[in-house]
Chain A
């Protein structure tokens, strides 16, 4: 393997890192080769190890770091989980362990998704019921005022509840992402020490 092959492979391994992280790491290694000079190219490559190993360390480090920052939003939480998946795939640990972790991430995300989906369907039902109640209430307002007003009232109440529910769904979703994140923090803290 020569310098160009090494850098090309490193670039491929690092491509999923955030843009600035990727660029900094690549700049560093390009400069490193330049400073070492062509006469030391072979030694440098031998000392560095494979591009995969080099990339694994950078990715693991970035992932661990992100987990120690307080989560700002669910999106950032998801970003961290993604980084952890990358880190696990890149890490030189036994394949079975990586497999178990991947399955665990998959299952946790799947169950979180299912819970949210269920809540969303309930939400939609509540909202649709509310709209139907209001519409029927308006149509029947003059022919059957008593039931119409009941329908109208219930319909509005349903719509109101569904709006409150939407906030609840968001909260539940964020909470779950945070909990999954905390779980991985625990797993990886031990590795870091």
Chain B
């Protein structure tokens, strides 16, 4: 993708992924990689920041004789995710209006 992902949009995507089910670091990174060309090294700071803000919590679960840390979305995280979604819809419409204005707009 040529469009760059700002830190807000990255936060939103990570929250969205975790809101669909508890996930661990590597699985989150694989899913983020599908939509965005962000470096793996930016994911840890994002997860850390989201935890610090109280949007995510973690728990450990044994997996093949070692610990795996799972990330869970909190109530505050869900609200933030909703907020990000509303903002995204507005933003997307505004961008499309400018980028595709006149093409789709028949009464214009």
- The docked-state distance in angstroms from the alpha carbon of A44 to that of B43 is 13
A29: interface (CB < 8 Å): yes
A44 adjacent to B25 (CB under 8 Å): no
Q: Is the CB of B25 within 8 A of A57?
A: no
B52 & A29 in contact (Cβ 8 Å cutoff): no
How many residues of A sit at the interface, in one of the four size bands? Answer: 20 to 34
Report whether over half of chain B's contact residues are helix, strand or loop; otherwise say mixed.
Answer: helix
- CA of A187 to CA of B17 in the docked complex: distance in angstroms? 34
Cβ 8 A contact of B69, one of A27, A48, A57: A27
Q: Which residues of A contact B (CB under 8 A)?
A: 24-25, 27-29, 31-32, 34-36, 44, 47-49, 53-54, 57-58, 61, 65
Question: Knowing that A28-B44, A35-B24, A57-B41 are A-B contacts, what are 20 other residue pairs whose CB atoms are under 8 Å apart, sorted by A's residue number?
Answer: A24-B48, A27-B67, A31-B24, A31-B26, A31-B66, A31-B67, A32-B25, A32-B26, A34-B66, A36-B26, A47-B40, A48-B41, A53-B41, A54-B44, A57-B44, A57-B45, A58-B44, A58-B48, A61-B45, A61-B48
